[in-house]
Structure 1
Amino acid sequence: MNILVTGAAGFIGAHCVLRLLRDGHRVCGLDNFNDYYDPQLKRDRVRWVQDQVGEFPLATIDLADAAAVEHLFAREQPQVVINLAAQAGVRYSLDNPKAYLDSNLCGFLNILEACRHHPVEHLIYASSSSVYGANQHTPYSTHDGVNHPLSLYAATKKANELMAHSYSHLFGIPSTGLRFFTVYGPWGRPDMSPIRFAKAIIEGSPLKLFNYGQHQRDFTYIDDIIESIARLIDHPPHLSPNWDREQPDASSSMAPWRIYNIGGEHPVELKDYLALMEKHLGRKANVELLPLQPGDVLNTCADVHELEDDTGFHPRIELDEGLRRFVAWFCDYYLLPIPLASHAAALKRRSL
């Protein structure tokens, strides 16, 4: 198929492009290579993909540029769009809210408009477990309401789901929203906990554990995320004949619109997660225990029955194995030995 992947130089996007090219699809990527974190990591991800499967078209475009997005769709005529581009991060949204308006709302609107004027067979887009917000009912079910987001980031992701629903209803765009749960693995973002924790452990610098390490997170290894996306490509949603307007189901619709959770189903306390990281790095962390931060969700846990029912797949890679693979990549990318025989010598090889 002819597939457009936005955020193609991002963590999930690069892995997604690699898998789709290996599966024989024609892929066009889009990324704006912004400086939310070091763009060199994004360039290195692209090079990693190219080293394995060769060159692929990659447009340097900002989703907020409506004319550029329209031109790309007109030229490429994608059958499937996988929108993984977004301004990520809960805490960053507290200080830089406009970035979320430009990327997550205006940018997503431009994607929807392009899909409207250049009809696609399936639009798949990244949502987030953050939309569950103040909901304390676990495991989180797509049938639950998501009306109490705790951060602007979460609010924009819920808005994306609602925007997609309106375009599915009005223009018949088959759209699938994926609520990702704490994705981790090789080539992850440096603002996410695996790289932050690993760097702090290696440097011996204070590692801040908020809520005194008692948060629970449903960690999901990147390969399980990508397998889920790959299987859902051929499962565009259809009108639900059994959808009841009197008792509306939050996960489906009378429109061709659907929501799935993608999570590991096994939440782990952050202090236990940290212990596994210490084990694989061969060093102890210098832990600083702190109270809960604004915008943080206490616990996450995914109910993935719908994903398994529709695709026959549920995430399978255990956290211990996933972190082992992450640490192997981390030490290779930052030129560190495994195990860390000399902390000082390791830091001389490359500044973190």
Structure 2
Amino acid sequence: MKILITGCAGFIGSHLAERLQSSNHEVIGIDNFSDYYDTRLKRENAKALSQLGIEVKELDLREADLKVALPKDLDYIFHGAALPGIASTSTFEQYLTNNIIATHRLTAAATHLAQLKMFINIGTSSIYGKDVFCDEEQMAKPISNYGVTKLAAEQLVMSQSRLGNYPACSLRLYSVYGSRERPDKMFSQLIDCAINDKKFPLFEGSLEHKRSFTHINDIIDGIVSVIGKEDQCDGQVINLGTDQEYTTAQGIQTVEKLMDTKIGIDLKPARSGDQLRTKAVIDKARFILGYNPHVGLEAGVQEQIDWFQNNRV
């Protein structure tokens, strides 16, 4: 199969590319190498993919002539490109162009791909809102520019399925962590603090926030399992995460235990748009995809620590 991955040089995209290529698919990667975080990290990912025979082409979905840029014989598109997070330094206009305009242009260009079997949108649990413990039928109530624009992007993708232009689905991911995680994410920061004797920036009130921390290997298992299940997945929104729930405090304690250290805290003002709870309900994923996450928190964090020590120190 010939497969396009957008956002291929990022955390999730690079892992997805590796898995698909190892399953003998032809993988084509594109990324705009956004400076949301240090672009050198994405360049390193792209270099590693290149060594596996996967080219990551630098291309901006907001500007490129996609009818020309996209191969005509694509079988699948995995759309992971987006402006992530809820950083105060990111403007609404940046979320608008990266998440909505870029997705609109890609979904429109995909209507010209005659053999496209499925367009898979990589969505987020941030779509649901502040306190998330629900199945996919729950009304979306996003509370951040990120969540709002990712919901709009998801609907652009799903509208193509409703119109009968091509099969499409959206996978809403929950609190993904693991090797190559973005440096602004919690476990990356905790590990960095433990190694380099820094204080961890903790947002006020977040110590008891609850998350379904899901290791990247489990997430990739779920994403790739869509292949071959086009009929079952078409028109579906599907949660991917673990049904285990942990507090921020437990996440901190896990890193401290595994690294045999105590991490200092730098208390920051509460962050607007932060979710109180995101616990994944994955009954649909189990039923449709045969999804079965199995990486425990300690094993997953240890994998990330090992990678960090070998690659970032």
Does structure 2 retain, via aligned residues, the 8 Å contact 1:213–1:271? yes
CA distance in 2, matches of 1:310, 1:316: 17
Question: What's the % identity of the aligned pairs?
Answer: 30
* Structure 1 residue aligned with 2:43: 43
> Could you report, residue by residue, the CA deviation over 1:269-320 in whole angstroms, capped at 9, with x for unpaired residues?
1011101111222221102345632100101101111111112122110111
* Structure 2 residue aligned with 1:213: 207
* Structure 2 residue aligned with 1:111: 106
In the TM superposition, 1:1-352 aligns within 5 A as 1-51=1-51, 54-67=52-65, 69-73=66-70, 75-92=71-88, 95-119=90-114, 120-134=116-130, 136=131, 138=133, 140-146=134-140, 148-210=141-203, 211-237=205-231, 256-289=234-267, 292-335=270-313
CA distance in 2, matches of 1:168, 1:79: 15
1:76 Cα deviation after fit:
4.6
1:195 Cα deviation after fit:
1.3
In the alignment, residue 59 of structure 1 is paired with which amino acid? K
CA distance in 2, matches of 1:305, 1:64: 35
Q: Cα distance 1:59–1:95, how it changes in 2: closer, same or farther (>3 A)? A: closer
Q: Secondary structure at the match of 1:173?
A: coil
Once the two structures are overlaid, the 10-residue window that deviates more, 295-304 or 55-64, is 55-64
In the alignment, residue 145 of structure 2 is paired with which amino acid? L
In the alignment, residue 247 of structure 2 is paired with which amino acid? E
Does structure 1 retain, via aligned residues, the 8 Å contact 2:198–2:264? yes
Q: Cα distance 1:266–1:100, how it changes in 2: closer, same or farther (>3 A)? A: same
Q: Secondary structure at the match of 1:198?
A: helix
In the alignment, residue 157 of structure 1 is paired with which amino acid? K
User: Would you say how many aligned residue pairs link Structure 1 and Structure 2?
Assistant: 311
Q: Secondary structure at the match of 2:111?
A: helix
CA distance in 2, matches of 1:212, 1:8: 31
Q: Cα distance 1:95–1:85, how it changes in 2: closer, same or farther (>3 A)? A: closer
Q: Secondary structure at the match of 1:88?
A: coil
Does structure 2 retain, via aligned residues, the 8 Å contact 1:212–1:289? no
> Could you report, residue by residue, the CA deviation over 1:98-143 in whole angstroms, capped at 9, with x for unpaired residues?
1111110010011101111224110001110001103x462x2102
CA distance in 1, matches of 2:164, 2:68: 20
TM-score with structure 2 setting the length: 0.94
**Which structure 1 segments of 5+ residues have no match?**
239-251, 336-352
CA distance in 1, matches of 2:158, 2:171: 13
**Which structure 2 segments of 5+ residues have no match?**
none
Q: Secondary structure at the match of 1:301?
A: strand
In the alignment, residue 279 of structure 2 is paired with which amino acid? C
1:25 Cα deviation after fit:
0.4
CA distance in 2, matches of 1:237, 1:186: 33
Does structure 2 retain, via aligned residues, the 8 Å contact 1:91–1:295? no
RMSD after superposition:
1.7
TM-score with structure 1 setting the length: 0.84
In the alignment, residue 12 of structure 1 is paired with which amino acid? I
Q: Cα distance 1:102–1:233, how it changes in 2: closer, same or farther (>3 A)? A: same
CA distance in 2, matches of 1:212, 1:168: 38
Q: Secondary structure at the match of 1:300?
A: strand
1:330 Cα deviation after fit:
0.5
Does structure 2 retain, via aligned residues, the 8 Å contact 1:3–1:27? yes
Does structure 2 retain, via aligned residues, the 8 Å contact 1:124–1:176? yes
CA distance in 1, matches of 2:229, 2:80: 18
Larger radius of gyration: 1
* Structure 2 residue aligned with 1:241: none
Q: Secondary structure at the match of 2:225?
A: helix
Q: Secondary structure at the match of 2:278?
A: coil
CA distance in 2, matches of 1:130, 1:212: 16
Q: Secondary structure at the match of 1:105?
A: helix
1:66 Cα deviation after fit:
4.4
> Could you report, residue by residue, the CA deviation over 1:171-210 in whole angstroms, capped at 9, with x for unpaired residues?
4321110100010000111111111122223333321222
